[in-house]
Structure 1
């Protein structure tokens, strides 16, 4: 006498097929990312820059340092004029000497835009800002700041 098939035995191939569809969903999400709106642009020396967070999540920890990812769109100015550039979040801009000591917060990318893993505190509060520090090849130090939107602030 044949034993009745269990649920798993009857539907295992169908369930396996459904599992194979999951990569298609993640592939679709990877091809259609959704980002928050860019922040207002500011003139900083010869550059016009508009930052944009890559998400509205709180800062994440990486190698014992909290970071927040941003994209900086250079609407005007040649990024080849930048010797070094750094971004940090907090109540004030970190000194250039302190920023040079670590690999975090460095601008990197192409002439169209720069990506940065901005140095951040564990929680973002009302007094914190986004600070951009740029040094040109002529040695000129340029600093700009943007107010953080409410959606980015950490709620306790």
Structure 2
């Protein structure tokens, strides 16, 4: 992506934060109102422009990660492959979208909005019904072959 095509680039804001879902956003499967992307040489990378949203997304991902060991059969692994991380992230977000919004779409328009709805509905991310998410996470495949 060329810098002129970026909707929001790093040079527009000097404050940016880690986005645990940046890979999903860059792949086009998800969108986010606070996402930012830039290129260095041929490497495209993403970040978040909102500290609170970044913290909420990171907290959600940590809870998904901790509770998905059984579904991924990764009980004693500290490092996960990119594929396993994608299963947790995209599979978890799609399952949450299905539960909260009753939507069975394969894409997520705004991760921040979804995370806010989840936070409002469950109070905190530890109260999410992870047993309902695990079948979707276990079944999710990033690429259909």
TM score, norm. by length of structure 1: 0.26
Q: Tell me which structure has the larger Cα radius of gyration.
A: 1
In terms of fraction of residues, the more strand-rich structure is: 1
Provide TM-score, normalisation by structure 2: 0.27
Considering Cα pairs closer than 8 Å and 6+ residues apart, tell me whether 1 or 2 has the greater RCO: 2
Structure with the higher fraction of residues in helix conformation: 2
